[in-house]
Amino acid sequence: MSAAIGTAVAPAVAVRRRRIRPRRVLLYGFLTSMAIVWLFPLAWAFYTSLRPFSDTQANGYISAPSVLNLDNFIDAWGRGNFETHYFNTLIITVPAVIVTLVLASMVAFAVSRFTWRFNLLVLLIFTAGNLLPPQVIIVPLFKLYTALKGIPEPLSDNDLLYNQFFGIFLINMVFQLGFCIFVLSNYMKTLSKELVEAALVDGAGVLRIWGAVIMPLTRPALAALATLEFTFIYNDFFWALILLKDGNRRPITSALNNLQGQFFTDINVLAAGALLAAIPTILVFLVLQKQFISGLSLGSTKG
């Protein structure tokens, strides 16, 4: 649809472009200076991270470099235990994204297709839950995590949810369900009702319809949500900070809190550490920018 708009408007704009030249220059000037301001903090972090501490000590931070190398990254990687933290992130994030999407699409399917009495209420419960500030529930949740016993062995090594990858997976998953259900149910409303009805007539069960009809049709929304949820859960700071005790179980984002204490005296290594933590999401964004943006847009415009 946006392509159609683009072609319709283009001729009109082309005519106008010649008439108001100075305003165009102003526009590009403004946008370009904003873009430079926007890139600067990241560029500065990158520049600082490439300079050895001795170089910045000798010449000052605002100076031409005498040496540029990756030593700070190697240093940060080793001292910051990045292998462990990346692994922790992976083991939490990937299952959380998958399970969230599967469960959310089931709920969204039920809510959008079957007009049973409480479907709107269900949608409200999930969406409202997702909008709560996490700190509102943290006190009882913390207690629940430390008191609820009987979590079996492969999921927990201390009988509890506290200090376990499984616990962090669980709260991220539950918390994100709301947003995904909200987006997916909106998306599913736009699909044609006849497909499901035809499948029902053919005698297919609800689960089968969900798996064979709905899942393939919602693939674009699922792809967008997967990209978005990956960054959301990767970027989670709060749950892992509070609900994990061992520093070496922390995923990378919440591990940054300790790293900054450790690298306090050497800001160049700190810069490298922060960039290492940022690189996966930046890469995902640059490669899957369309998915990322359409995920955010689905949540706002169609609601």
- DSSP secondary structure letters along 238-296: HHHHHH---GGG--HHHHHHHHHHHTTT-HHHHHHHHHHHHHHHHHHHHHSHHHHHHHH
- Using CB under 8 A as the binding rule, whether residue 122 contacts other proteins is answered as yes
- Which residues are within 8 A (CB) of 202 and not within 5 positions of it... i.e. 6 or more apart? none
- Using CB under 8 A as the binding rule, whether residue 142 contacts other proteins is answered as yes
CB of 177 to other proteins, least distance (A): 6
Nearest CA to 229 out of 129, 168, 296 is that of 296
CB of 49 to other proteins, least distance (A): 9
Options 162, 175, 179, 187; binder of other proteins; rule CB under 8 A: 175
Nearest CA to 132 out of 184, 185, 178, 183 is that of 178
From 67-75, 80-88, 195-203, 294-302, give the range in contact with other proteins by CB under 8 A: 294-302
- DSSP at 118: T
Give the total of residues touching other proteins (CB under 8 A).
103
Options 109, 165, 166, 169; binder of other proteins; rule CB under 8 A: 109
- How many angstroms separate the Cα of 90 from the Cα of each of 18, 40, 66? 53, 30, 37
CB of 154 to other proteins, least distance (A): 19
Options 29, 134, 205, 220; binder of other proteins; rule CB under 8 A: 134
How far apart are the C-alpha atoms of 241 and 52, rounded to whole Å? 31
C-alpha of 215 from chain center = 21
CB of 246 to other proteins, least distance (A): 16
Which positions from 1 to 40 touch other proteins by CB under 8 A, shown as an x/- string?
xx--xx-xxx-xxx------------xx-xx--xx--xx-
Question: Which residues between 215 and 274 bind other proteins (CB under 8 A)?
Answer: 231, 234-238, 241-242, 253-254, 256-257, 260, 267, 270-271, 273-274
From 65-73, 90-98, 136-144, 150-158, give the range in contact with other proteins by CB under 8 A: 136-144
For other proteins, the closer of residues 63 and 158 by Cβ is 63
User: 70 with 50: CB under 8 angstroms?
Assistant: yes
- Using CB under 8 A as the binding rule, whether residue 54 contacts other proteins is answered as no
